[in-house]
């Protein structure tokens, strides 16, 4: 039997799929390293156990698959009826038996991958709507999932760090986060400098570059993304002008 492959032929989109699927595989590996009993322990997200993280990632795949189906059929199928329904779904999923929770993740990931595989070139530009109300092309669903699986693999609190995340994913994630700050107007007086990155061959700078005396957060790309997503301050420094700050300020909210 001939193996079925993605119908999408755009090289850029194919490259994005090659970031999303390994991210799913990485999440699966970190999940499979955990015993059933360890699923009850806390994640890196306040108020969430590892069970909540797994349920969220599983139901997120189903939600994104609905958007891909929407793009392919033209029949509107929202991610969720409401954020309240989404939250209820996650809390319910966290009560499932370990085998059911693991099956939720596995089956939903395969379903989403198949929906992507079978979407022809002509439909990837079709517009769908995210749970936040943003209208985006179906191609954006690949990045939406990429971001989820890589970040939440770290949130499982099972040894994964942002250093495990591919540098192109980290840079795009940082652009997303700082772009969200700019849209909300919460980046005023805040400058982020990434050092040691191999992506551009030079330091990357994000945030309020026009501020006369900004608070400057500096560190390697993985550490800066960890800080920017609200998951730690290890490896970053903070300064105001030439004066180093004794504490690292919390990053603004981004989602």
Q: pLDDT digit string (tens) for 113-156?
A: 999 999 999 999 999 999 888 999 999 999 999 999 999 999 99
pLDDT at 219 over 90: yes
d(CA 159, CA 30): 8
Position 146 scores a pLDDT of 98
Position 198 scores a pLDDT of 54
Q: Which domains does the chain have, with CATH numbers?
A: 11-160 (1.20.120.450), 167-244 (3.30.1050.20)
> For the residues 233-247, what does the mean pLDDT come to?
89
Phi-psi region at 177: left, alpha or beta (left = phi > 0; alpha = psi -120 to 50): alpha
pLDDT at 200 over 60: no
Whether the CB-CB separation of 29 and 142 falls below 8 Å is answered with no
Q: pLDDT digit string (tens) for 162-175?
A: 999 999 999 999 99
Q: Among residues 59, 61, 66, 44, which one has the least CA distance to residue 90?
A: 59
Give the phi and the psi of residue 193 in degrees, each rounded to 5. Answer: -120, 125
Q: Which two tokens stand for residue 51?
A: 């069970």
pLDDT at 78 over 90: yes
Whether the CB-CB separation of 13 and 142 falls below 8 Å is answered with yes
């Amino acid at each position: 039997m001939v193996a079925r492959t993605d119908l999408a032929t755009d090289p850029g989109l194919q490259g994005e799929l090659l970031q999303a699927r390994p991210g799913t595989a990485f999440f699966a590996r970190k999940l499979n390293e955990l015993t059933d009993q360890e699923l009850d322990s806390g994640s890196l997200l306040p108020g969430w156990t590892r069970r909540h993280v797994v349920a969220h990632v599983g139901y997120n795949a189903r939600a994104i698959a609905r958007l891909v189906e929407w793009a392919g059929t033209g029949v509107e199928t929202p991610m969720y009826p409401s954020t309240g329904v989404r939250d209820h779904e996650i809390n319910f999923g966290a009560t499932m038996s370990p085998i059911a929770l693991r099956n939720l993740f596995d089956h939903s990931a395969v379903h989403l991958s198949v929906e992507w595989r079978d979407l022809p070139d002509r439909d990837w530009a079709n517009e769908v709507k995210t749970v936040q109300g943003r209208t985006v092309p179906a191609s954006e669903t690949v990045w939406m999932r990429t971001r989820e699986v890589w970040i939440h693999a770290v949130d499982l609190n099972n040894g994964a760090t942002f250093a495990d995340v591919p540098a192109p994913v980290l840079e795009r994630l940082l652009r997303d986060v700082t772009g969200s700050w700019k849209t909300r107007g919460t980046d005023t007086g805040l400058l982020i400098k990434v050092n040691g990155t191999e992506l551009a061959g030079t330091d990357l700078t994000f945030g309020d570059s026009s501020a006369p005396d900004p608070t400057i957060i500096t560190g390697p790309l993985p550490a800066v993304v960890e800080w920017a997503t609200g998951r730690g301050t290890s490896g970053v420094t903070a300064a105001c002008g030439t004066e180093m700050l004794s504490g690292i300020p919390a990053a603004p909210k981004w989602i």
